Amino acid sequence: MLRGLRNAFETIESDESAQVVLICSSVPKVFCAGADLKERKTMTPSEVQNFVNSLRSTFSFIEALRVPTVAVIEGVALGGGLEMALSCDLRICGEDAVLGLPETGLAIIPGAGGTQRLPRLVGKSRAKELIFTGRKIGGREAMPMGLANYTVPAGEAHSKALDIAREIIQKGPIAIRMAKKAINEGLEIDLPSALELEEECYEQILNTKDRLEGLKAFAEKRKPSYRGE
């Protein structure tokens, strides 16, 4: 399943027509429940390490996708399931969502990005509490702490995610890619270097046909038609 997931994202990354990715589950009340602990029990330490490394690599690949990614969370998102959602740009939760990183209860730590991405979203102290206690939180609690962008009635997360995706695809695709790059990479460096990165990203937009189309559409009081050029 992990290999299939990675292959799917590699296909999306090479598809110039892709503009937004929604990650959702076809299983009712489960976004992703994390590792199969019965399988994990049969694995050697080396096999466990290789699997977790592969998981971490896949989630980093998701985070680095050129296009925006949205985790559509209905039901359970635990352990690696929540870590996958953390690697997305946005998270939309149903009210009945259950999110958590319970690894310390199994005498391990979140190993696929959880210890790094969670504090970047909710702050160091809140992340420590959630990881140290393994406490599960509901969808309603996720939004005020910054873990979810929106919390909606159960069963409506996919619809809300589609609404957001429709808003995004009306914007200039190159601008969206450059904005994502500037934000993601800029947060990992000092401010002066990040401002230089922003300048570099802006320069890549200056000579695009889309930028001229945006100005023309504004002057003509119509919706722009962007082509990613």
Our answer to whether residue 141 is catalytic in this structure is no
User: Which one of 34, 75, 79, 80 is the catalytic residue?
Assistant: 80
User: Which one of 103, 139, 172, 214 is the catalytic residue?
Assistant: 103
Q: Are 99 and 73 in contact (CB under 8 A)?
A: yes
Our answer to whether residue 103 is catalytic in this structure is yes
Our answer to whether residue 185 is catalytic in this structure is no
Our answer to whether residue 35 is catalytic in this structure is yes
User: Which one of 81, 83, 142, 182 is the catalytic residue?
Assistant: 83
Helices (H), the chain: 2-13, 37-41, 45-63, 80-86, 114-122, 124-133, 139-142, 157-169, 173-186, 191-206, 209-219
Residue 204 is given by DSSP the state H
All residues at 6 or more sequence positions from 144 whose CB lies less than 8 Å from its CB, including other chains: none
Residue 1 is given by DSSP the state -
User: Which one of 35, 97, 148, 157 is the catalytic residue?
Assistant: 35
Active site residues: 35, 80, 83, 103
